[in-house]
A and B are shown apart, each in its own frame.
Chain A
C-alpha cells in the first residue's frame, strides 16, 4: 500500500542539468556514476540534459570560484521555474577545504546572497554533503525535493553527562 502511494506521487521525470562551478571532478564522476546502469537513476526518470532551459533540477558541484560566478548566475537565470537546486559535495555545501580561500566564494549560502541581488529566486535547495558524495547519496538528494522520501538527518545537540 505504501509503495503504491509513493508511486502515485511521481508526476513527471526530473531532468537534470549538471553545473560544475570549479570542482575537482570527483563529484562529477559520482554524478556520471549515478546515471550508469549500476545505480540506474534513469529508472526514476532522471535524464541528463545539455541545456539549463530544459532542466527541472540543477546539480551544482564545486566551491563557486570567482571565475565561474558570472557563468553560474547566467545558467541559473536560464532555468525555468520552479527552480530546484541540489548542491552536491562538501565544497558546494559549506566550502569544504576552500571555506576561506581568496579565489572561491566558499559555499552555496554566499552564492544565494549574490543571487538575491540579481533577483534570481530559488524555490528549493537541497544540500548533499560528502567528499565526494556517493551515488546513493546523490539519488537520495535528488528524490528529497520531489517529495518521494523524507529527510532523515536533523540537528543534534547532546549534553555530556558528568558521571
Chain B
C-alpha cells in the first residue's frame, strides 16, 4: 500500500504511541478529575502531562490553557461559538476548510453577525493589506488557517498576529495541517488561540485534538458552548470560566490524549524541520514526475510543502483517485471540505490531493507517479 492521504489523517502511527495507548487502557484508564482513587489520579496525571507537553511544544507556559477536543473541527466550533457575539464582525480567508467556514457562516446567520473573506492566494503583503482594510470597529475575531489542506500555501501567521494585537482583535489559527510540521510559537506569533488535531502532523490517534490559548488570554470573554459534568463546582448550574475544566464537559478521551502525548514526543524526537524538509523533498519529486506526464495540472506548484493538488485532462479527480485506490494507492479526491479554496484555485470542484508524512518515501512517490502515468496516458 502507498498511503498519501496524510492531510486527512497520518498513517501509520509511531509504534510507541500505540503501545502507550494500550498500556493506558489496560493499566490506568480511570476517569480523570472525578475521584481521588489511584486509577483516576493516574489518568489525571497522564492528561496533565499531555497538557504540559503541548503547551511547551507550542510556546506557552500554562498547561491549563490547553483544552482538549475531539479534533480540530470540534476545537474550532467551541472557540468560534464561545467567542462570537451578536453584531460582531469576523474575518476569514478564502482558503478555509469548512471547519472554519461553516461555524462562522452559521453563527453569522443565527446571532446575527457578519463576516468578510480575504484572498489568501495572493502574496503575503497583499493578503496582510487586505486583512487590515477589512477591519472594522466591530471586528472581534480574525480566523485563518496556517497551512492549506488542498495546497502547500502557508500563511504569515506571525504578521497576521501582529495586526490583530495592534487592533486588539482575537486571532484564531487553524493549525490542522501545520501542527507538527511547522514551528508554531503561540506567544511569539501573537496567536490568541491555536486549534489543532492530534491525529495528523502530531501522529496521535483520531478523536484527539485541542485548542491552546496564549498565556494572557482573557477567559472572561470566552463562553463555554458545551455543558455538563467536569468534576468541579458540581453544585453550580453554570460551567464557570476556569480553563481547562469549564470548557471540557464530560469524560475526556484519556487513551486518545495519552496517544497524543506520545505523538508529540515522536515529533519532538524527529524535529519539525526534519519532517518539513522530508515532506518538501517528496513534494518536489512528485511535482517533477507529474510535470513529465502529459495532461497533468498541478495547482500552485510554487507553494512547496506536504500537500500537492493535481488533475488530469483524461480522468476526473474522483475517477483517477478510484483507479489509484484499486491499486492500493490512497489519495483524496473531491472538494476536500474546502469549497472556496477550490474555487480560488480554479480546480472545477474535483481534484486529487496527495499528502505526505514522516513515513512517506521517495520510492512511493515514484511508484505513485508511474501509476498516474499509466492511468492517464
Does B associate with A? no
Interface set of B (CB-CB < 8 Å, partner A): none
Interface set of A (CB-CB < 8 Å, partner B): none
